[in-house]
Amino acid sequence: MKEGPFSNFKYFPFFDTKLSSYRNIINFLLIIIFFISVSFLNVSAQVGKSFFTVHCDPPHSPNWSYLVEIVDSANAYNIPLTIMLTPPWADSVYSNSSKANQLALWQLQGHEIGAHHHGLSAANPLTWDGYTNASNIEIAQAGLDSLDKIGDMDDFLAYMRPIAGSETLTTGGIAEEYDWPSGLIYRAEGLNYDHTDVFSTISVYNHNGFQVCGLTYANVNNTSVNYAMAQFNNYGNNYCTGLITHANNFSNNMLKRAATLQWFNFISDSIQTSTIRDIMNDAACTVTPIRQIKENYISDKIRMYPNPFSGSTNLTIKVDHSGSIDLFLFSISGQLVRQYKQITGDNSNNFQIYLDDIDRGVYMFKVVTKNHMFVKKLIVN
C-alpha cells in the first residue's frame, strides 16, 4: 500500500487510533502547551513602550481650550501625555491660577509637563519664542529682529522650570542643537516628521555639549498611524512607539483628530503607554548636565539681588526707552500676589521691592516693558 503524505504522523493521536489513551492524553497536553507558548510569544513581541506628545506652539497660545480638549480625549482612553509648552503658553499659566491648577491636576492624572522651543529655524516673528543662544548677526541672517530676543537658552529654562510645579522639568523638544539648555536631560524629536520615526530606541545624543537621552516620534496623520498599527507587533521590547500632534491641529484639523483618536483607541488596552520621562526612568537612562543654570540673571537686562532674600530685594532693569513698566508677583500656583507700576529712564533703573509681609516660599516675578517681558524666580526666606 502506497504511503500517503501523513504516514509519518502515526504517533499523532488523530492519525493513529491504536495509540493508548494515555499517550493520546500526553500528546494532547503537549499540543495545548505549544499553542499557549505561541500565544505568550505573540504578546511579548509587542513594542515595549508607547508615548504620545502634544506641542503647544507660540501662534496658538491664546486658546487654552485646544489643550483641554485633547487632554480630555486622552483621559477617556487612559493615555498619558507628554505636554510640551512654549514660553507664551507658560506665560498664560503664570498669570492664571485656574490654568496652573489644571496643569497640576493633569500631572496627578499621570501626564508629564515638558518644554518646547521654537528657535531661529522657525524664521517667522510669530513663531519664534524669543530665546536663542545665537548671536545678533545670526538672528538677522535668519530674517528676525534681535530686539525681539528675550534671552538665551539658560534664560529659557529658568523661565520654563516653574511650569512643572512640584515636579522637575526634564523633557524638551528643541530642534536646534546649539539651543539646547543645560538641565534638560530628555529629548524627543522627529526628523522632517518621517513616519518611520514612529519606532526608535533610546539613544544618548550630544547637544550643545550636553549629553541627552533621546527618542524619536512621527507626526500624527493617516500614514504614520496606519504604519504604526501595521508594524506594532513586529518590533521587540527594545523599541518605543512615539507620535506627536499639536493642540490646535487636534481641534481644527479633522483628519489629524481622527488619526489621533484612531491611535488612542488602538493602544487604549495596552499597559505599555507612558510618558517620555517615565520611559527614560524605567530604562535607567541618566546623564549629568555639564554647566550650571543661571540663577540670579534671567538676561543681561534684569537683575534681582539678593535672591533668596528676606524682607526686601533690589531690582535693576536696563531698558532702551523711557516710560512705564509693569511688575507682577505670582505665587508658584499662578495666583497674583502683588502688582506695581514704575517709571523708567533710558538706561539702568534701580528699585527696592519690599515683601516682608508675604509667606515664605517660591514666587515668580514678571517684568513687562514696552518691548520685552521677563520672569524671574524669587525665593522668600
Which pLDDT tens digit goes with each residue over 269-308? 766 889 999 999 888 887 765 443 343 334 456 778 888 8
Confidence class for position 324, pLDDT limits 50, 70, 90: confident
| pTM score of the predicted model | 0.66
Residue 159 has pLDDT above 70, yes or no: yes
Angle between helices 254-267 and 64-76 (to 10 degrees): 30
Cα distance between residue 349 and residue 319, in whole Å = 8
Residue 256 has pLDDT above 90, yes or no: yes
- Dist CA 218 CA 220 (whole Å): 6
Residue with cell string 545665537: 134
For the chain, what is the total number of helices (H) and then of strands (E)? Answer: 10, 18
Write the pLDDT tens digit of every residue in 201-210: 888 888 777 8
Residue 43 has a pLDDT of 29
pLDDT of res. 292: 39
Per-chain mean pLDDT for the chain:
77
